Chain A
C-alpha cells in the first residue's frame, strides 16, 4: 500500500485531500492528513468580526465535516519532516512514512518578531485580526471605544491576504460613520510598501479610495519597535507614528515545523517551483497555499487555483510522467470597500490587477477594480461557496489559469530613463 501524507488541514490541505480521495483507488493508496487543531476557520471572515458583522460562530466549523470517508485523520502538532528518509515525526510520537508528501502548513503571525509588540499593550491597545482571538478581542474593544488615533500597521511583507489591511481601514471608516463618530477617529494606514498596494494600477485606484475616505497613508515605514509607554510605533529610520489603538499585522511566517525540518527560507516558507508546485529540494514533496515561497498572493483563491495544478502534477508524478501543468500565479480577490460595496481584482505572476469585466459562467460579469454592490454580494456569498463547495474539492466555474477576457489594458506610462552627471 502506498501513502500520501498531507500536512495541514486548512483550506489548501483539505481541498487536496478531497480531490485525491476521489481520484485514487483506496485499495492502492492510503491518504493521511495531519493538523494540530480540530476546528476549521473561515479566515476571510476574520476581517468582519471586529466590526460586529460576523460572530466567532460564523467562521468556525469542525474540520471533520469536510474530510472524505476513508482518509486517515491525525490531530497532532508536527515535530519535523525527515525529507531524506520520507518520514514525518509527529509530536504525539507517531511516525509516518510517505511516498508523496504535500506540505500545506500555512502561515501564522509572529508578533514576537517586533520589539515591544507582545508586551503590556497586546490585546489591550494593540490588536491583530489574523487570529480569531485577536479579531474577537478587537470587536469587544471597539464596542466601547470613544475614538482617537487608530493606526493600522503592516510589519513586513509578505502577508496573508495583502488586500486585508485596506479592507480593514475601509470597513473601519464605514463602522465609525455609522456610529456617528467618524469625526472622533483619525485613521492611518502605515505600510512598508511605497504605495497603498503592491501593484501599481490597483495601488492608484485603491489609494484614491483612501483619499476619498479621509484615511491617512504613511509609506515605506519599516517598523523597528513599539514604544508601549508613549504609545507609538518607531521605524528603523526613527520615524514615529502615535496611536491610541494599534491594529497590527505582525510578521507572517511559515510553520515552526518547517524550520525544525530545515526545509524553509528565512521566513520558514518552503522553496517551491513556481510553476509545477513541487519542492525545489525533494522530488516527492509538493507544496501548496501559504506555506510556499511563491511570488504570488497568500490567499485562499490562490490555494484553490494551485490545487488544480498540484493535483494534475501529482497524478503525473505517480505515473512517472513529466509534470506538465503549470501554475501562472493566478489570484482572484474581492475587496470590501465599505458602505455595502466592494471591488474585485484578478491577476497572476505577469499581469497586474486591471480594470474591466470578469465573466463567471452562470453568474454574470463582475466589475474589476471598481466599486459595485455586486462585488460586495460576491464577497459575502463566497462564505457559502467556501463551506459547501470549495474546500470539499468540488468543481467551481473558475479556471485555474487567469484569462484576459474582459480586461482593459491601460495605456502604459512611458518608462523614462534619466541621466546622472557625476563629478
Chain B
C-alpha cells in the first residue's frame, strides 16, 4: 500500500459481518464502519452507546441486550432505533468492533 492511498483500508470481517479482529478497531474505524452500515455521522449520543457496550463487553464477554442497554446507558429504545436504525443491538456492536451479540438461549 502506498502512502498516497492512506485513506484506503482493508479490514477483515467475520462470518456475521462483524469485525474479525477486535484489535483492528479504532475510533476512526468506527466512523468508517458506521458509514458502511448506513448509520451516518457519529454523534456524542452514538458514542455514549458505543462506549457503554464496549465497557460491558470488556466486563462480561458479550454485548448487552437492548433492555439492559436502555436501562443503563440513559438512551431510550426509541432513540436507540433512531441512532442505529434496523436492529440497534447488532448495528451498534458492528460499529463498536464487537462480535455479534450472543443474545439469549
List residues of chain A with CB under 8 Å of any chain B CB: 156-158, 162, 193, 198-199, 220, 222, 224, 236-237, 265-267, 295-297, 415-423
Q: Which residues of B contact A423 (CB under 8 A)?
A: 7-9
Contact A419 B10 (CB under 8 A): yes
Residues of B within 8 A of A (CB): 7-15, 17, 20, 29, 32-33, 35-36, 65-68, 71-72, 77-78, 81, 85-87, 102-105
Find B105's partner among A158, A222, A237 (CB 8 Å cutoff). Answer: A158
Q: Is the CB of A237 within 8 A of B15?
A: no
Residue of A nearest to B100 (CB): A194
CB distance from A109 to the nearest CB of B (A): 15
Contact B71 A237 (CB under 8 A): no
Give the A-B contact count at a CB cut-off of 8 A.
72
Report how far A421 CA is from B10 CA in the complex, Å.
5
The chain B residue with its CB closest to the CB of A237 is B86
Query: Given A156-B65, A222-B66, 6 more contacts at CB 8 Å?
Result: A157-B103, A236-B77, A237-B86, A266-B65, A296-B105, A417-B13
Closest A-B pairs by Cβ, 8 of them: A157-B104, A158-B104, A422-B32, A266-B68, A236-B81, A415-B15, A422-B9, A423-B8
Are A266 and B20 neighbours in the complex by a CB distance under 8 Å? no
Sample 27 A-B pairs with CB under 8 A, ordered by A number: A156-B66, A157-B65, A157-B104, A158-B105, A199-B105, A220-B87, A224-B78, A236-B78, A236-B81, A237-B81, A237-B86, A266-B67, A266-B68, A295-B102, A297-B105, A415-B15, A416-B15, A417-B12, A417-B13, A417-B14, A417-B15, A419-B10, A420-B11, A422-B11, A422-B33, A423-B8, A423-B9
Closest to A238 in B: B81
How distant is A100 from chain B, measured CB to nearest CB, in Å?
27
User: Are the CB atoms of B10 and A420 closer together than 8 Å?
Assistant: yes
Contact in complex: A295, B87 (CB < 8 Å): no
Q: Which chain A residue lies CB-closest to B14?
A: A417
The CB with the most chain A CB atoms within 10 A, among B68, B87, B103, B104, is that of B104
- Cβ contact within 8 Å between B104 and A266: no
What are the residues of chain A within 8 A of B8 when measuring CB–CB? 421-423
A198 pairs with B105, CB closer than 8 A: yes
**Residues A266 and B72 in contact, CB atoms below 8 Å apart:** yes
Q: How far is the CB of A112 from chain B (nearest CB, A)?
A: 14
- Contact present for B104 and A198 (CB under 8 Å): yes
